[in-house]
Chains A and B, each alone.
Chain A
């Protein structure tokens, strides 16, 4: 079965320090991978995606993610965390169907950045 896993429920980091939010996946074929962010009482917002090409993908708000095929991972990173980055982060994998796409999401990781 195609799935995505986020092994950490919560990640705590001090402002200015680098952050990593982990994601591993299991899919057949080439993976299409995504990161979304959810702020309190809001819907999910797209951050970045990997479809093909460079293993390091850059996205919104200074975030980037590294695709590692051998480790089946797609970890989200940021060189210097901000307090405003505190939110719930979801990794997702695209599942193909007849007419388009559906995304299967991980359980989410709460990122807490302290000042």
Chain B
């Protein structure tokens, strides 16, 4: 158990809909990262938050947004969903300042868009 919790584990929805994925980082970790894993694209970095502020952006679509709340949990919002958004979405957290670069991953939220 990594200590990172993601909900829901599975989600099935229709095209055009909007969903929210939730992540609770390990206790004490201030940084949260979101990754998308799909068969054709592999593991893609989406976005990073640190202590409530956006710090780095990767290959995140404009239809997607995220935020980190004062209690440090994070949500990834996916809107106007398309079939190609079906993927496994991972959240990871890290100890900022340790400089080791080791990330702790949750078990993912599997999104299926029909």
- Tally of A interface residues using CB under 8 Å: 26
| Contact yes or no, B101 A101, CB < 8 A | yes
Q: How far is the CA of A98 from the CA of B50 in the complex (A)?
A: 10
Nearest chain A residue, comparing its CB with the CB of B35: A105
Q: How far is the CA of A61 from the CA of B94 in the complex (A)?
A: 22
* A 39-50 to B, binary, CB cutoff 8 A, 1 in contact else 0: 001111110010
Whether B64 sits at the interface, judged by CB under 8 Å, is no
Contact status of A34 and B102, CB under 8 A, knowing A98-B55, A108-B42, A108-B43: yes
Nearest chain B residue, comparing its CB with the CB of A103: B103
Enumerate 23 A-B pairs (CB-CB under 8 Å) in ascending A order.
A34-B101, A42-B107, A44-B43, A44-B90, A44-B105, A45-B2, A45-B105, A51-B100, A97-B56, A98-B55, A98-B56, A99-B31, A99-B50, A99-B55, A100-B48, A100-B55, A101-B101, A102-B56, A103-B103, A105-B43, A105-B45, A107-B42, A107-B43
Closest 6 CB pairs of A and B: A43-B105, A99-B50, A107-B42, A94-B101, A105-B43, A97-B56
Instruction: Mark A residues whose CB is within 8 Å of B.
Output: 32, 34, 36, 41-46, 49, 51, 90, 94-95, 97-108
Residues of chain A with a CB closer than 8 A to B53's CB: 99
Whether B106 sits at the interface, judged by CB under 8 Å, is yes
| Contact yes or no, A106 B102, CB < 8 A | no
| Contact yes or no, B106 A103, CB < 8 A | no
Nearest chain A residue, comparing its CB with the CB of B40: A107
Contacting residue for B106 out of A43, A90, A95, CB 8 A = A43
Cβ distance A62 to chain B, nearest Cβ, rounded Å:
19
Contacting residue for A103 out of B2, B55, B101, B107, CB 8 A = B101
Q: How far is the CA of A34 from the CA of B105 in the complex (A)?
A: 14
